[in-house]
Every structure is written in structure tokens, then in C-alpha cells.
Amino acid sequence: MRRGRRPKWMIDIANERMNILFSMAKKEFSVNPDRSHRYVSLARKISKKYNTKIPTKWRRSYCKKCYKFLDPSKNSSIRLKQGKIHIKCNQCNEIMKIPYINEQKEKRRAKIEYYSIKKRNNE
């Protein structure tokens, strides 16, 4: 297969598969954590093969170092520090730092949009 960008339909299929794998990983975690870790590695393989990113929704649910599935209530802990989300993987003790500002910006944007729609409706 040729390297580089993939057609949109292929990316859509890849995204769908990754979503399925991650939701299965989430479901399986309490019963069979090893299976969840395997689903994560399968999802990563898809992302590499099709040159697509792991869906934003799931980007925080696996460890960037040991690639294990992370469940905030079980094998990871989440703290807010200096405007950043610190996600600690209890498997390898890696702390991932995710800036919090994007979320704040998004929230702000959503709020502005909400009010401008409301205003428009009132006019």
C-alpha cells in the first residue's frame, strides 16, 4: 500500500474501528484488563497503518509510555495542576501532562456561541 494520506472513507473506517476497540477495552477492563491492553495496541496499530490519529475522546485513556489502557478509577489518577491535567499511569508511574487551556477555550467558545444564538433568536 502507498504511504501518505489515506482517502476519507478509509480514515472513517479506521476511526470507527478504533472507537469500537476503545469502547470494548473500557467495557472489558474490570473483567479482563489484559484484553483491554491488547485492544489498545490493536487500535494503535490501526492508527499507524492508516496514518490517522487516535480519536480525541480516547487519547487520554491509554498510557503514552507503556500503552496500557487507563481507567481513572482503577489504574490511573487524574490531578489538576497549574492549568494542566496530570494523568498518572499506575502501571509504569508515567505522568502525562495535558494542558487544560484548550478545554477552557472550548468552553468559552461554546458559551459565546450559545449566547449569540440566544440573542439571534430574541431579535
Q: Which residues bind Zn ion (CB under 5 A)?
A: 63, 65-66, 89, 91-92, 94
CA dist., res. 122 & res. 109, Å (int): 20
Q: Which is nearer to Zn ion, 20 or 92 (CB)?
A: 92
Q: Which residues make beta-bridge pairs with 81?
A: 84
Q: What does the angle CA 110 – CA 113 – CA 118 come to, to the nearest 5 degrees?
A: 125
Q: Which is nearer to Zn ion, 15 or 75 (CB)?
A: 75
89 annotated as ligand-binding = yes
* Least distance from Zn ion to the Cβ atom of residue 14, Å: 24
* Least distance from Zn ion to the Cβ atom of residue 70, Å: 8
Pairing state between β 95-99 and 84-89: antiparallel
* Least distance from Zn ion to the Cβ atom of residue 63, Å: 3
118 annotated as ligand-binding = no
115 annotated as ligand-binding = no
CA dist., res. 26 & res. 119, Å (int): 41
66 annotated as ligand-binding = yes
SS3 content of the chain, % helix, strand, coil (to 5): 50, 15, 35
CA dist., res. 77 & res. 88, Å (int): 5
Q: Which is nearer to Zn ion, 14 or 25 (CB)?
A: 25
Binding site residue list:
63, 66, 89, 92
Binding site residue list for Zn(2+):
63, 66, 89, 92
